Structure 1
Amino acid sequence: MNESDDEIDWPVGSTVDDFGALWYVSYFTLIPGVIAGVLANVVFIVVSQEVFNQRPTIPNLLLKYLAWTDVLNCTFGLVPIIFAYHLKIFTKGVCAFHGIVFTAFSVASQMTVALMSIERYIALVHPFFYFKHLSGNHKKIIIAVYSIFVYSAVSASLPLFGLNRNVPHPPNSYCMFDWADRTPNGRLVVYLNLLNIILCLLIIVIMNGILGVYMYRLRKLRPRLPSLSTTSGNNQLPIDSRDRKLQLQMTKLTLVVAVVFFCCWFLFSLRILTNQLGVWRDDGLDWFSSRFMTLNSVINPFLYVIMWKPYRRGCWMLLRTCLHYMTCTFVKRPTMTLSETVSA
C-alpha cells in the first residue's frame, strides 16, 4: 500500500491462469453473494415502499434509504470491481472510480445506521419530544439523509484533489484510499474516514446500549407506556397500543441492524488504524476485514425480512409471484396483492 502509482503494475487483478482452481472458488463465491445482495435489496425496496405508503413512519423511511444505499453499493461498488479483478482489467482509472464510489456508499451506510440509532433512542427514551418535533416531520429526516449523501460524496472525492490516493488493497481485489499514507494530506483523509467510522460506531454502541437496557427493563417490569397524543385541530388523537407495539418492533430491528453493523465494521476500522500507525501489518487480515465489511450490504435486507412480519410477508409474496411465472404457473400465484399482504 506504500507503493507509488509508478511502482504498481497496472492492470492488477488475477485470471484463472494465475491461481488455477482457486480462481473459480473466489469468482463463484463472490458473484452469487453480490447478486443475492442486489436482488434482496431491490425486492426489499419494492416492499418497503408499499409498507411506507401504509405506515409513513420515520423508521420505515430510513430503512428504505439504507436499502437504496446498499443496492447502489452492491451494484456500482462491488459488481464492477469483481469483474475488473477477476478479468484482470483493473486499471488505474477503474481503481480511482471504484475507490470513490466504494468509499462514498460506505460512509453513507455508516452514517445512516447511526441516524437510525439516534432516531430510535429519541423515540423510545424521549417520546414526548419525538412526537412533538419529529414524528410527523419527515422533511427534517430527508434533509439529514441528503446531507449525509452530499458529505459522503465530498469526503470520498478528496483523493481527486491530491489528498491521499486510491490504491489497490490486498490481494489487489478492491480500491480505497491508502491507509498507510503518512503525508500530511494523506493522513487528513485517513483520519477523517477513521473519525467517521469511530463516531458512528460510538453512537451505535451508546444509543443501542441504552435502548437494550430500556427494553430489558420494559420487558421485566412491563410498565404501561405513557399515553401520548398528537393534536389535530381541537381533537386529541391518542397513540394506541398498536402504534406503541410498532415502535418497539422497529427498535428491535434497529438493534439487530446495529449489532451486525458493528461486527462487520469494527475490525475494518481497526485495520485502517494499525496500517496508518505502521503496526500489526497483515495483508491476510486486511483482506478478511474488508470482505467482512462488504457483507454488511448483502446481509441487511435479510435482517429486515427476518425481523419484521410485514416485510417478510411482502417479500415472500413477490418471490412466489416471480416463481409463478418462472415455473410456468407450476407454483400457485398469491391471491392477495402486495398492498393487502403487507397490511394483513
Structure 2
Amino acid sequence: MHLRLIKRCQKCLLTNDLIGLTGMCAQMYLQSFLPKRLVDENMHYFCISRVIWRVFGISSGCVAFVMALERYIALTKPFFYHKHVSDKMIRRSIFLLWAIGAFFTFLPLFGFGIYFDEAKNVCLRYRDATDPTDVAYAYLFFTVGIILCTGIVICNLSVRKVLYRSHHKMRRQFRSIQPTPMLDRSMIRSSSQKSASFADSSIFRMVGEPTTEEIRFAKLMTFLSISFLACWLPQMVCIFLTQQLRPEVKARFNWFFRLSDILILLHFMLDPYIYVLLRQSGRSDLRTMIRLAWPARKAPSKEKGRDTVTTTDTED
C-alpha cells in the first residue's frame, strides 16, 4: 500500500508542478511578445492569472507535507497507520490542504490583500503592501509558508532519525553473524539482488527493522528538506524584509529578492528529479542527480579497433 500511496503523491506533485511551471512560462512569454497596447489593456487579467499560478506553489508544499507526514506516521505509529491511513484518506488530505492553500491565495481577489494597482495599471506583490489590511495578508501568507516549511522539515528529519536509529540497532544485532565460508564469491554476486530482497522481506520485517528501500527514502527525504528550505525560506524572508526595512535600505537587497524568485522557479523544475528520477535510480544523493541531468558520454571503445587490426593481420 505504501508504494501505491507514494506513486499517487508523486503524480499529484508532478501534475501540480507541470501546470504551475507551464502557466508561469506561458504568461511570461505572452507579456514579453504581445503588443504593449494589448498587454496594457488586459493587465488586470494578467495580474489575476499571477495569483492563480501562485496556488500551485502552495499546493506543491502541501503535497510534500502529506508525503512526509505519511512516512512519519507509518514509522512511529504503525498500528494506527495500517488501521486508519488509506489511499482514500491520502487523496482527501491532499485535496483538503490544496483547498486551504487556494483559499489563502485567492483572498486578494476578494479585497484582502493586494495584487493590482489600478492607478499605475501594474501588478503588485503581496509583500509590497502598505495598507494595514494588505500588510496583514502579507504576514498571514508568511505564517502559512513558515508552518509548511517547519512541518515538512520536522517530519522528514524525524523519519530519517527513526530509520537510522533502527538501522544501527539492526547492525549491532547482526554483527555477530558470520558469512557461510563454503559459498563461492561469484555465487554471492550473482544472487545479490535476491539476497537483498530476501533480507528486506524476511529478516528485517521479522525484527521490525527498516528495509533498504526505506533507508533510501530517508535519504530522499533529507535531500527534499534541504532543497525545500533553500527554495522557500528566501521568499518568506523577503516578506519580512520588505515590510520592516526602509525604502533606501531595501534597495540594497534587490539582489536577494531576485535570487528568491529564481529559487522558487528552480523548485518547480527540480521536484520531478528529486521525487521520481532519484527514487527510480536507487540512490538519493547529489551526485546521482547531477549524473541524471548531465549524463557522461561513453568513451569510444577500443575493442572495435583491436578486432579490425586482428582481422587485417589474418587476411595478410
The verdict on a shared fold, with TM-score over 0.5 as the criterion, is yes
Map 1:246-257 → 2, pairs under 5 A: 246-257=213-224
- Show the counterpart of 1:203: 151
Gaps of 5+ in 2: 174-200, 284-316
Is residue 111 of structure 2 the alignment partner of residue 183 of structure 1?
no
Hey, what does 1:147 align to over in structure 2?
96
| Aligned twin of 1:12 | none
Residue in structure 2 matched with residue 116 of structure 1 by the alignment: 67
What is the CA–CA distance in structure 1 between the aligned matches of 2:218 and 2:164, rounded to whole Å?
A: 12
In the alignment, what sits opposite 1:326?
none
Distance in 2 between residues matched to 1:224 and 1:159, nearest whole Å: 57
CA deviations 1:19-56 (Å, max 9, x no partner) are xxxxxxxxxxxxxxxxxxxxxxxxxxxxxxxxx9xx75
- Measured in 1, the distance between the counterparts of 2:238 and 2:18 equals 25
Q: Deviations over 1:89-111 (max 9, x none)?
A: 37522432232122211111122
Shift of 1:219: 3.4
Mapping of residues 57-136 of structure 1, within 5 Å: 57-85=4-32, 89=39, 91-134=42-85
TM-aligned CA distance change 1:218 to 1:83, over 3 Å: farther
Query: Which runs of 5 or more structure 1 residues have no equivalent in the other structure?
Result: 1-51, 169-173, 226-238, 313-344
1:47 paired residue number: none
Which structure has more RCO (C-alpha within 8 Å, separation ≥ 6)? 1
Q: Find out whether 1:158 has 2:129 as its counterpart.
A: no
Structure 1's consecutive aligned runs of 4 or more residues displaced over 3 angstroms after TM superposition are 85-91, 174-177, 239-252
Question: How many aligned residue pairs are there?
Answer: 240
- How big is each residue's C-alpha offset from its partner over 1:119-146, in whole Å with a ceiling of 9 and x where there is no partner? 1111122222212221xx1111111111
- Matched position secondary structure for 1:101: helix
Bigger Rg, which one: 2
- The aligned counterpart of 2:259 is 288
- Aligned mates of 2:19, 2:99 — CA distance in 1: 15
Contact 1:77 1:101 in 2 (8 A): no
Whole-angstrom distance in 1 between the partners of 2:215 and 2:84: 19
Question: TM-score, normalised on structure 1?
Answer: 0.61
* Overall identity of the aligned pairs, in %: 23
CA RMSD of aligned residues (A): 3.1
- The CA deviation at 1:295 is 1.1
Deviation at 1:175, TM superposition (A): 5.5
SS at match of 1:157: helix
- Counterparts of 2:110 and 2:162, CA distance in 1: 46
Encode CA deviations 1:56-97: one digit per residue, 9 max, x unaligned.
522221111111110111112333124314655375224322
Q: Please point out which of 268, 277, 280 is paired with 1:297.
A: 268
